[in-house]
Amino acid sequence: MTDQNWNDYLRDLRAELAQALGEAIWAFAMIERQTYEYMRALSSEPLHELMGGQMFGARMTLIKKLVNRLEGQDDDKAWALKYIDKAESLVRRRNTIVHNPWQIWIDFESNSFKSGIKKQTDEAATIDLKAMREFTAEAREAASGFEYALTQLRTRSHHARSE
């Protein structure tokens, strides 16, 4: 392979990795946004403002409490709690993705380029492009389910307040 071919390959690989990283962050950001929507919808207090600087875990703990204190709505609450758990299960991978750089290296055993995110504190925990795309799909599903659940809870909780 010529130097130009290697340069083209690396350029294309960087672009593909950057796009995958952006999509993963975007997908999880939809979950992050929903945490504020839950706090706004399920409390008469401005919790979305008061909890603005809190870590994701603290917001999720509060949201679980807000959901659990709703009366009735057992099926909708279970649906919401399912997607809260799903979102929480993604946090470790999200942190690895966000806080560690993509790396591109040569694997001398296979004589090929490799790429992925290696966690600084545990290099065995590598996220490659395939794992990144799986994370993105899972985050999108969690965000969608999380959003749908809030719509169901909000509708019923507002009806209950107005009756």
The pLDDT tens digits of the residues spanning 3-23 come to 778 788 888 888 998 999 999
| Short-list 71, 86, 101, 99, CA closest to 138 | 86
The pLDDT value given to residue 156: 52
CB atoms within 10 A of CB 29: 13
Residue 31 has pLDDT above 50, yes or no: yes
**pLDDT of 96 strictly over 80:** yes
Report whether pLDDT(67) > 60. Answer: yes
The confidence band for 163, taking pLDDT boundaries of 50, 70 and 90, is very low
Q: Is the pLDDT of residue 28 over 80?
A: yes
* pLDDT beyond 60 at 157: no
Helix 3-41 to helix 56-69 angle (10° resolution) is 40
H/E element, 134: helix 129-162
Distances (CA, A) of 103 to 25, 123, 148: 17, 11, 36
Between CA 150 and CA 157 the distance in angstroms is: 10
Report, as an integer, the average pLDDT of 122-131.
Answer: 84
Q: Would the pLDDT of 161 be above 60?
A: no
Identify whether the C-beta of residue 87 lies closer than 8 Å to the C-beta of residue 95: no
Cα separations in angstroms, 18 against 48, 56, 103, 161: 31, 24, 11, 46
Determine the Cα angle at 127 with ends 2 and 4, to 5°.
10
Question: Looking at the predicted structure, is the pLDDT value of residue 159 above 80?
Answer: no
Q: Is pLDDT of 39 > 90?
A: no
